[in-house]
Chains A and B, each alone.
Chain A
Amino acid sequence: MKHLNEEELIEHYYSKGTAGAGKHLKTCTECAEAYAALRIDMDEMKFAAPPARDPAYGERVWQSIGPFLPAYHVRNQSWLDIGLWRGLSYAAFALLLVGAFFAGRLSEHKQAGTMAKSTPAPAQERAAPPQQRIVVVVLSDHLDRSERLLVELKHADAGSEETVSPLRDEARSLLAANRICRQNAAKIDDPELAAALDRLDQVLGELANHPGGLNPATITRLQDEMNADGLLFQVRVLRSRIPEQEAAKAAQSKEGEI
């Protein structure tokens, strides 16, 4: 007699006895015992019940997201038309940076070649310009990282140094990228993006460089301010607005580091 395996028993349990294993279980003691043990285990798997939300919860969710949603007819016109131009602007910006990178490298080679011919080796070493790093910032990546940081900040335990220290480090590394994104937002005339990045800059600045280090009061204040002005949600809206193809294009042209 072929016995039922654990998967078949699990299937039988969840199908509430409608699966074909029922007949076999009536005639096979071994499988019936295995099934009884499984049923006890499964019946005892009772996990924490979701905490109750009051009846106004749905209204609160709407209050928190509603102001950030553009009306549909406006969105159709502006996001399709402006979105196309904006996408092209981002692509042009990325191309410009990549172009600058290659132009820089070409120029370096040329310069090095010329100097090798005209000057002796020690002088060449002194005269060589310091290698410049080209930093390409991909907006979607930046917003993604910023969102993660803000989520961490939102749930951070203000009194714990273990929580606060990584926040400070990440904020420091995001500050430079944020500055580049702000400049770009100003160039492509995107006031919504620019405003959000300005606000983000303030939060990052406080996290990274707060005099005397971050203390619980500062963290709590930042959390309150962030909740009040909906910065996290704004960042989410902006991130989701960037077309996926734009993100893919940007990733392909990513040459440096963020």
Chain B
Amino acid sequence: MGKNDHEAIQAVLEGDKEAYGALVVRHSQSLFRVAFRITGNEADAEDVVQEAFLRGYQKLESFESRAKFGTWIYRIAVRCALDRIGGHRVDDSSRVAEETDPEQEKLQVADEAAGPDRLLLSGEIGALQDLALRSLTATERAAFVLRHMEDCTSEEIGAALGIPQNAAKQAVFRAVKKLRGRLAPLRVMR
């Protein structure tokens, strides 16, 4: 029978490096899930998972035994993912404008892209939503992902992003407002 998280951590700190493997195996899936949702990219998400476990290993001595390892390493992964998307250039291929038209609040896409009606018909709503998500700032995007997809509370989001709870709440609000504005063309088709 395998060790539980706290036993495994104790073993690692006593020099049994292999015990960390059990923690990696146990938590890799959940870390990949949140990393993918924040980065929106499979390769980046895999890098984030590796980096999170590396940082976790190096900081393991500072891990408090009262906490849950899963929550602790999850927060590290969120920070790594945030660093990753914060440092990335805007993908030219998506060609999403930084700002939407203030009057119309419509998503600005490249000329060759299909209009909302065609997008709807060709089942590309999801892709349009992903583009809108990628146009948010790194903090807004991470906060929104944690709230909307990971069901985290504002307190948990604040802790994961290293910002006050109220700032986390405001980041979610801004993200929702921007997304609603940018996805407004889809509303017309409903």
Q: Spell out A's residues near B (CB within 8 Å).
A: 6-7, 10-11, 14, 38, 40-42, 44-48, 50-51, 53, 57-59, 61-62, 64-66, 68-74, 148, 151, 154-155, 233, 236-237, 240
Contact = CB atoms under 8 A, between A and B. Distances in A.
Interface in B6-47: 12-18, 20-21, 24-29, 32-33, 36-37, 40, 42-43, 45-47
Decide if the interface of chain B is mainly helix, strand, loop or mixed.
helix
Given A74-B15, A240-B55, A46 B172 contact: no
Interface in B134-160: 147-149
Given A46-B126, A48-B40, A155-B43, A57 B14 contact: no
Nearest to A37: B187
Given A45-B179, A48-B40, A57 B32 contact: yes
A154 B47 CA distance: 11
A84 B176 CA distance: 48
Interface in B53-106: 53-55, 57-58, 60, 87
B54 A237 contact: yes
Interface residues of B, number: 53
Nearest to A63: B21
B160 to A, nearest CB: 16
A151 B47 contact: yes
Given A50-B32, A53-B32, A71-B15, A62 B126 contact: no
B32 A7 contact: no
A46 B127 CA distance: 10
A71 to B, nearest CB: 4
Nearest to B84: A151
Contact of B14 (A50, A66, A72, A148): A72
22 contacts: A6-B173, A10-B173, A42-B176, A45-B183, A47-B130, A47-B149, A50-B36, A50-B45, A58-B25, A58-B28, A61-B25, A61-B50, A62-B20, A62-B28, A66-B21, A72-B60, A151-B47, A154-B43, A233-B50, A236-B51, A240-B54, A240-B58
B54 A236 contact: yes
Nearest to B57: A69
A6 B176 CA distance: 10
